Amino acid sequence: MKVAVIGGGPGGLYAAALLKRLDPAREVTLWERNAPDDTFGFGVVLSDETLGGIEHADPVVHAALQRAFVRWDDIDIVHRGVRHTSGGHGFAALGRRRLLRILHERCRSLGVELRFRTEAPDAVRLARTHDLVVAADGVHSTTREAFADVFRPRVTGHRCRYAWLAADFAFDAFRFEIAETEHGVMQLHGYPYAADSSTVIVEMREEVWRAAGFDETDGTESIERCAKVFADALGGRPLRSHRSTWTTFRTVVNARWSHGNVVLLGDAAHTAHFSIGSGTKLAVEDALALAACLDEQPSVREALAAYEGERRPVVESTQRAARASLEWFEDLDLYLGQPSRRFAFNLLTRSRRVTHGNLRLRDARFTEAVEREFGCPPGTPPMFTPFRLRGLTLRNRVVVSPMDMYSAVDGVPGDFHLVHLGARALGGAGLVMTEMVCVSPEGRITPGCAGLWTGRQAEAWRRITDFVHRQAPGTAIGVQLGHSGRKGSTKPMWEGTDEPLDDGNWPLVAASPLPYKPGGQLPRELSRAQLTDMREQFAAAAARAARAGFDLLELHCAHGYLLSGFLSPLTNRRTDAYGGSPEKRLRFPLEVFDAVRAVWPEERPMTVRVSATDWADGGTTAEDAVGIARAFAAHGADAIDVSTGQVVADEEPEFGRSYQVPFADRIRHRVGVPVIAVGAISSWDDVNSLILAGRADLCALARPHLYDPHWTLHAAAEQGYAGPGADWPAPYRAGSRPPRTGRTDAPKPRLVLGS
């Protein structure tokens, strides 16, 4: 087999070495256009997981790395002159040049031909003359561009400028330092990579970079100014550079990683922000997986498919974490007002890879100090602290999210709703929300939707609220009021999501006459008179909800339903006083809010659910959502329930763990209003992390409560908590401990004899 490797970074070099080591008969040639010692950046951080893979694949390289590594456990975070240290993190780093020399030596010892200062032949030509072409030619990959129609790359720029620098001393920890200058916020990321050297990355928003004049300074002046800004961190020492320039990070994503016998590896295939130290790690792990798949599969084509199948989920998960970290630093100014220790916790958990539970294992003393400052009583996880909204005090921070059940008859909730909502109330959540309860027959999504347009429906709801208050004292129950708008007259979800009824349809109304899906029913645009009637329907339903005994009311202004349809520019094309500018699009939802608030009891809280982005070009953005939330807060909303999407059918959501939380976080800090976070929050560890970091005040979970109605009580049991934030109902207390299971461990050997 003839193998061509394009690019002499760590990923390309390690791939070449492994491919040659696994089969010495392979002819492996590597091209690198730069000299052997040319490199960008200074230090490289590798995880224990990556090192374990290297140890198994090539003990020679592993041993050389072990001799070169600098190791440390601590992270220092300096915020407004206060330094907090968190331990137990475990880092290993070495100089990038040292790493390259180790890999050069290994490649030469194995017989890999290294061609430095030489441009690789065209990838198309190499693909004809070689059995395998490994494109490890970096973020600006020419190979990727040569086959762009196949790889379909998407390169996204970001909002910060950074410079990769170094200092001639070793930090004693991984250090994050924040500088609040007259021009804006700047941050330093620093870590040791040798006994006398540290990597120093200086980063700031583009507008701060320009305001500070860095766009008009040469390299030497920039370095000197950065050293002055971070003089305390550097101990007055200078910074140095090696061909470093101010640049912006670019996230690279490819639809495919291989084409014929050409495969992308490392930054050519994907990038992940340096704030989680993942670039070299990912490239080395790519090389390990590629070599293994070529060894295991019968053909190159099958091996490349297996390689991508193995690596893509890992890389996508890392990229999600890296993006969360990147965006946290982009929005660093949001968190500057936090107490310094809570700020440090927020920074440490920014990527959602490190969580509250994980940090307790690493550094219990630090985590407990954050909990005390937050107000957690001894032994109380953050999720079990109370939270007050107006006259309602919730015993914990868990909300059973609204979930449409499509099981009512003529809008009347029956035994199913009693059992469904009652079970979740008995399960320990602080607040249980109904599904979207419709204000009129025409406002239903499906024929099975529940309503509050009649007294009979209100009486049926009263039966449910009475049960919750009597049998699950301490649990509040809230009602979500809404109208389906253009998304009505459809089948239940399990028969076809958003599919129109086969018969029995009713006419739809909306902000503008636009069907939700192509070929769907065309709604009528609401006239001024109809808007008045609609407002009165909401107010009448709210009055019935109050008489039915609900503790909280949420106005549904999300997910493309009627009020959401007014807010989004994609669904509101009106030219009257209710369309056009953001202020005009807000007018009708605010009128409805005011009408509902006027009849809703003063002491009971009222929240609003919004879609903080439409996930579609030209739609509502995260910044728009801040304005929407600010308007509702000004009208008296006690909290904003922050969801996203479902406004237009051609949306492109970026799914992932806790993927909607950053939108809630932004609203909480920009507007200063409590928020309910939703969206793939699945574990109690996530809830603790989000609450303690200050990214949310309450967390709403849907599917986890379908899987386990007693999710909150079980979360308490698993954390060894038995306080007032999760009081087990008396009939269930015998089950408050996990049931015993049979032994699965075998007796350990009593005696081990040496050879």
Residue count of the chain, please give it: 755
Q: Tell me the two tokens of residue 674.
A: 């409590």
The three-state secondary structure class of 675 is strand
From residue 512, alpha-carbon distances to 274, 436, 578, 590, 638 in Å are: 45, 22, 10, 18, 29
How far apart, in whole angstroms, are the C-alpha atoms of residue 288 and residue 283? 9
In DSSP terms, 94 is beta-bridged to 44
Tell me, yes or no, if 193 is annotated catalytic.
no
SS3 state of residue 190: strand
90 CB neighbour count, 10 Å cutoff: 12
CA-based nearest residue to 480, from 541, 394, 389, 392: 541
The answer to whether the CB of 556 falls within 8 A of the CB of 610 is: no
Of the candidates 193, 516, 561, 578, the residue annotated as catalytic is: 561
Residue carrying the six token digits 């620098």: 165
Question: Which residue, 408, 433, 655, is CA-closest to 556?
Answer: 433
As given in the structure block, the two tokens for residue 735 are 């089950």
Sign of torsion, CA 446 452 453 455? positive
At residue 68, φ and ψ (nearest 5 deg) are: -95, -15
Residues ≥6 apart with Cβ < 8 Å to 397: 382, 383, 384, 385, 387, 430, 687, 691, 697, 698, 699
370 and 703 Cβ atoms separated by less than 8 Å: no
Q: 686, 660 in Cβ contact below 8 A?
A: no
Question: What single-letter amino acid sits at 358?
Answer: N
Question: Which alpha helices (H) appear in 635-683, and where do they start and end?
Answer: 661-671
Phi, psi angle pair for 65, to nearest 5°: -65, -45
User: What residues contact 143, with CB distance under 8 A and at least 6 apart?
Assistant: 6, 123, 133, 135, 137, 262, 264, 268
CA 358 to mean position of chain CA atoms:
17
C-alpha–C-alpha distance, residues 428 and 491, integer Å: 32
Contact between 382 and 397 (Cβ < 8 Å): yes
CB 291 within 8 A of CB 18: yes
The strand pair at 43-46 and 27-32 is best described as: unpaired
Separation between Cα atoms, residue 162 and residue 7, nearest integer Å:
24
Torsion of CA 397, 403, 407, 409, to 10 degrees: 80
**CA 714, 715, 720, 726 torsion-angle sign:** negative
> Cα 621–622–625 angle (5° rounding)?
90
CA atoms in the 13 A half-sphere facing the CB of 145: 8
Bridging pattern class, strands 606-611 and 552-557: parallel
H or E element that contains 345: helix 340-348
Integer-rounded Cα Rg, in Å, for the chain is 29
In Å, how far from its chain's centre is CA 516?
28
User: Which of 275, 266, 202, 210 minimizes the C-alpha distance to 234?
Assistant: 202
H or E element at residue 179? strand 174-181
Active site residues: 561
